[in-house]
Amino acid sequence: MSTTEHTSAGLTERIVPRDLTRSADSALSRRIEQCKAEGRPALVGYLPAGYPTVEESAAAAVALGRNGADIIEIGIPYSDPVMDGPVIQAATTQALANGFRVEDAFTVVRAVAEQTDAVPVVMTYWNPVLQAGVDEFARRLKEAGGAGIITPDLIPDEASEWFAASEEHGLDRIFLVAPSTTRERMDMTVSAASGFVYAVSVMGVTGTRDQVSSAAEDVVARARGAGAERVCVGLGVSSREHVLEIGAYADGVIVGTALVRALGEGGPQAVGELAAHLAGRD
């Protein structure tokens, strides 16, 4: 992420116009609010499109949605990731070697939208969106049934095209915050986001961990202090215990590496079994 900081409230308002602030009435926000009403955090699962094949990644995503995931992040493989750990890097490298194309991600999103009641979103570095054309990417995602995009390397002050396209096509903008996020940038990011704010709980790359970082709760509290209505925590979640621990203070719990590892070792069935465990259904 850019280290450039803008400390002026007036500048923040110019970057994030008032008519582009978050909406509480989207499929994504409604699902998280539904989970809150049920007294539990939303379970958010990540899988890369095209791994190990497009067909298997779609089947795995459907299994994830049918076994307890409320929101499914479909990752777009990228050749130069900045925050993916070794398990996800290996999976996306294989997908690219097998000929993955961006349009394959829309195929997986459509499978989730049509075959489960989970809410699908795309997680992608920004370059593939630029290559496809921001408005065109947004249009195709919406047509496939997608609800928004998580953009780990895009910051609000560089997202003017995305603001316009997301409003035009009714998609949520999911930006990331981290332990290193300053107060000024936290305010800016929360104002720009919709659906939920993605709170990174540890510094560094993704991967399962034995314990959830103690920084996670602080990041969530800071995001709420900046006005975030829904905050989901990711990086390091690998067990039902982690889900319960994070769910005590966050609105959603994001699981990635553990699911990708399950897919590689046991196929879509293993993904479904792990999802059921994480959701407390086993």
Catalytically annotated residues: 73, 84
Q: What is the number of other CB atoms lying within 10 angstroms of the CB of residue 221?
A: 15
DSSP, res 7: -
Q: What is the three-class DSSP state of 132?
A: helix
CA distance 53 to 64: 16
Measure the N-to-C terminal CA separation of the chain; round to a whole number of Å.
38
91: its two tokens: 């999976």
Q: 28: phi > 0 → left, psi -120 to 50 → alpha, else beta; which?
A: alpha
Cα–Cα distance between 47 and 42 in angstroms, integer?
16
